[in-house]
């Protein structure tokens, strides 16, 4: 993701987004999930306030047009509407088609500012016009062929209840036509991930069931001098269109490494590639997990600061006295002529919202598609269920402005809790996770009963079933919102003025961890040292 964008049903307030390119996607195929579903995730990172919206299905008359507007509100492009468009909630439509993305930029000179369509418009149009992942790829490819592509490099996760694909796309440069792209199907039984770097390497040129691509994908690279087939070996899309540096590898591939090392510890993937070590092997595009993953497992993968590894962000002097995993921007800094970089975790304070799309072929679309939605940092957020058949969203998730705090906005309340927790993270995060697990646990416990009721209703009264699912999803969101407001109040009263209140509401002086105190004394050994005990007498001449 990058600044100034409109993502599907999530409205990002124009002019209020600071630059922060960085998103994370996970893809889980049917054979890799514990219930035979397809799961994709999307952390939408950037300094913005997401406003959840739904787009209803609609019939269109001949001559109806879809207007693409610029930042100034002026119409940039008009595209003919199809006879019918599908309803969309967040990144999922009524047919359980879901799309996520991460921006890899790639070669800056290939951005075509005259192109008609940015990636977020492509995503929105694909969700409104396609029923399956394959259809979505065709919709997006046809649209850029006709109207041009205006963004930098993008990796898309595109999934339906049966298949999951990765589509990588980049522009042709100023004034160019169409886009350069390749899409590969993730093999069943595998999981994949991408995080702001192109990851498709070699790909089959004659296997349309598993790989499709633009006709110019190799020829264009040869013409631009990016690739010489006589000397450069097999064509690798990621190397040609997204050359890596040590900084970009650390920023991007460390997240992929952490997802893979947690899903498949048996692989013992080294950190080397993400550290930019010469000769290190790139991480595979997909892996087989050691065990099949549930939705809860995938949510846990999205909550990660490299805990328990050599780069654990909750450890060390840089984590402060209370083990905070967050680091202030910018990511890099220079000291004494050397360049350094903080780690970039999957869980970050820069996340505006995140999704976990659960797509189930063995259930009716209205019930089978569940978009688990959360706002702000994934680690301290709480996912709530939004079903594919709903027609409204929780009001508290549909309002707010980045310019003004509001107790009525879910995003602001979650943001307040997450920021306040930085004062004593190792203490407060336990209180936050306790409420998070209680709420999410209740949703998962209720899920079988809710879905059985909805499916029974679908047999005789589909509209009633949709109203039921809408009421449940809205109620779930408002319940989370209320509990988080209560949590904010509890944290503020419990952790006040440096004290920590016990169960009797008595303030306790708990001080700082010994390891951090040792670092302080090591840095300034004399400043805080007191003389040996004893009465200090004043000089007799005083």
C-beta pairs of 446-451 under 8 Å, 24+ apart in sequence: 447/385, 451/363, 451/367
Which pLDDT belongs to residue 411? 98
Q: What is the DSSP string of 471-533?
A: HHHHHHHHHHHHHHHHHHHHHHHHS-TT-EE-TT--EE-----HHHHHHHHHHSTTTTPPPPS
Measured between its terminal Cα atoms, the distance across the chain in Å is 70
Is the confidence at residue 9, as pLDDT, over 80?
A: no
Give the sign of the dihedral formed by CA 441, CA 264, CA 386, CA 400.
positive
Half-sphere exposure of 211 toward its Cβ, with a 13 Å CA cutoff? 13
Cα distance between residue 35 and residue 405, in whole Å: 41
Which pLDDT belongs to residue 539? 77
Cα distance between residue 535 and residue 275, in whole Å: 56
Which pLDDT belongs to residue 73? 87
Q: What is the DSSP string of 81-100?
A: PPSEE--EETTEETTS-EEE
Cα distance between residue 403 and residue 519, in whole Å: 38
**pLDDT digits 0-9 by tens, 32-90:** 999 999 999 999 999 899 999 999 999 999 999 999 988 888 899 999 999 999 999 99
> Pick from 191, 407, 421, 152: which is nearest to 284 by CA?
191
Element (H, E) at 167: strand 164-170
Least confident among 187-191, 320-324, 502-506: 502-506
Provide the percentage of residues in the chain whose pLDDT is more than 90.
Answer: 92
Question: Left if phi > 0, otherwise alpha if psi is -120 to 50, otherwise beta: which for 30?
Answer: alpha
Is the confidence at residue 378, as pLDDT, over 70?
A: yes
Is the confidence at residue 540, as pLDDT, over 90?
A: no
Cα distance between residue 119 and residue 107, in whole Å: 16
Question: To the nearest 10°, the Cα dihedral for 26, 200, 110, 125?
Answer: -50
Average pLDDT, the chain: 94
Which pLDDT belongs to residue 19? 42
> Pick from 175, 141, 169, 171: which is nearest to 156 by CA?
169
Q: What is the DSSP letter of 509?
A: -
> Pick from 45, 175, 149: which is nearest to 101 by CA?
45
Is the confidence at residue 262, as pLDDT, over 80?
A: yes
Give the pLDDT band (50/70/90) at residue 18.
very low
Question: To the nearest 10°, the Cα dihedral for 396, 344, 183, 187?
Answer: -90
Which pLDDT belongs to residue 4? 34
CB neighbours of residue 481 within 10 Å: 24
Q: Are 468 and 460 in contact (CB under 8 A)?
A: no
Which pLDDT belongs to residue 542? 59
| pLDDT (average), residues 113-132 | 97
Q: Are 125 and 136 in contact (CB under 8 A)?
A: no
| pLDDT (average), residues 441-450 | 98
Which pLDDT belongs to residue 21? 61
Question: Left if phi > 0, otherwise alpha if psi is -120 to 50, otherwise beta: which for 268?
Answer: left
Provide the percentage of residues in the chain whose pLDDT is more than 70.
Answer: 95
74 versus 202: the higher-pLDDT residue is 202
CB neighbours of residue 67 within 10 Å: 10
Instruction: Say whether 106 sits in a helix, a strand or coil.
Output: coil
Is the confidence at residue 277, as pLDDT, over 90?
A: yes
From the number of C-beta atoms within 10 Å of its C-beta (0-12, 13-18, 19+), residue 100 rates as buried
What's the residue count for the chain?
542
Cα distance between residue 39 and residue 32, in whole Å: 9
Q: What is the DSSP letter of 536?
A: P
| pLDDT (average), residues 296-322 | 97
Which pLDDT belongs to residue 541? 65
482 φ/ψ angles, rounded to the nearest 5 degrees: -65, -45
**pLDDT digits 0-9 by tens, 400-444:** 999 999 999 999 999 999 999 999 999 999 999 999 999 999 999
Which pLDDT belongs to residue 267? 98
Answer whether 0.85 is exceeded by the pTM.
yes
| pLDDT (average), residues 348-372 | 97
Sequence-distant (6+) residues with CB within 8 A of 300 are 262
3-state secondary structure 22-46: CEEEEEECHHHECCCCEEEEEEEEC
Cα distance between residue 132 and residue 28, in whole Å: 16
Q: Are 388 and 89 in contact (CB under 8 A)?
A: yes
Cis-peptide, bond into residue 330, ω within 30° of zero: yes
**pLDDT digits 0-9 by tens, 227-253:** 999 999 999 999 999 999 999 999 999
* Strand locations in 360-517 (E): 370-375, 384-387, 500-501, 507-508
């Amino acid at each position: 993701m990058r600044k100034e964008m409109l993502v599907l049903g999530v409205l990002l307030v124009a002019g209020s987004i600071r630059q922060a390119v960085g998103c994370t996607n996970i893809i889980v195929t049917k054979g890799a999930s514990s219930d035979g579903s397809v799961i994709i995730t999307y952390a939408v990172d950037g300094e913005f306030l997401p406003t959840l919206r739904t787009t209803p299905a609609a019939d269109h008359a001949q001559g109806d047009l879809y207007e693409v507007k610029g930042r100034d509100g002026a119409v940039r492009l008009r595209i003919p509407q199809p006879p019918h468009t599908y309803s969309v909630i967040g990144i999922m439509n009524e047919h359980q088609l879901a799309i996520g993305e991460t921006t890899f930029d790639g070669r800056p000179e290939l951005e075509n500012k005259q192109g008609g369509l940015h990636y977020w418009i492509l995503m929105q149009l694909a969700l409104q016009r396609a029923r399956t992942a394959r259809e979505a790829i065709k919709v997006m490819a046809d649209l850029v062929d006709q109207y041009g592509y205006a963004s930098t490099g993008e990796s898309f996760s595109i999934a339906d209840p049966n298949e999951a694909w990765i589509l990588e796309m980049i522009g042709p440069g100023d004034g160019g036509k169409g886009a350069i792209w390749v899409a590969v199907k993730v093999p069943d039984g595998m999981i994949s991930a991408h995080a702001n770097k192109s990851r498709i390497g070699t790909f089959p040129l004659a296997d349309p069931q598993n790989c499709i691509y633009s006709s110019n994908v190799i020829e264009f690279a040869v013409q631009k001098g990016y690739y010489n087939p006589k000397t450069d070996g097999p064509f690798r899309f990621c190397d040609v269109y997204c050359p890596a540096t040590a900084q970009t590898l650390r920023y991007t591939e460390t997240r992929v490494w952490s997802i893979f090392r947690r899903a498949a510890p048996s692989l013992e993937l080294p950190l080397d590639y993400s550290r930019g070590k010469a000769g290190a092997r790139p991480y595979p595009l997909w892996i087989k997990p050691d065990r099949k993953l549930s939705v809860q497992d995938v949510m846990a993968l999205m909550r990660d600061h490299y805990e328990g590894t050599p780069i654990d962000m909750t450890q060390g002097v840089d984590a402060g006295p209370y083990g905070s995993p967050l680091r202030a921007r910018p990511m890099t800094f220079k000291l004494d002529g050397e360049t350094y970089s903080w780690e970039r975790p999957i869980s970050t304070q820069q996340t505006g919202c995140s999704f976990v799309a659960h797509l189930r072929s063995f259930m009716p679309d209205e019930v089978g598609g569940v978009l688990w939605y959360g706002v702000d940092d994934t680690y301290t957020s709480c996912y709530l269920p939004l079903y594919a058949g709903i027609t409204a969203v929780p009001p508290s998730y549909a309002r707010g402005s980045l310019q003004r705090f509001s107790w009525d906005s879910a995003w602001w309340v979650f943001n307040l809790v997450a920021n306040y927790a930085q004062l004593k993270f190792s203490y407060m995060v336990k209180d936050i996770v306790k409420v998070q697990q209680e709420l999410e646990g209740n949703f998962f416990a209720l899920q079988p009963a809710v879905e059985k009721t909805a499916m029974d209703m679908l047999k005789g009264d589909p509209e009633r079933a949709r109203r039921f699912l809408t009421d449940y999803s809205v109620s779930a969101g408002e319940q989370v919102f209320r509990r988080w407001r209560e949590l904010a109040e509890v944290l503020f009263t419990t952790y006040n003025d440096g004290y920590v209140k016990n169960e009797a509401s008595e303030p306790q002086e708990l001080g700082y961890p010994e390891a951090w105190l040792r670092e302080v004394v090591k840095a300034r050994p004399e400043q805080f040292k007191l003389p040996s005990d004893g009465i200090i007498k004043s000089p007799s001449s005083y």
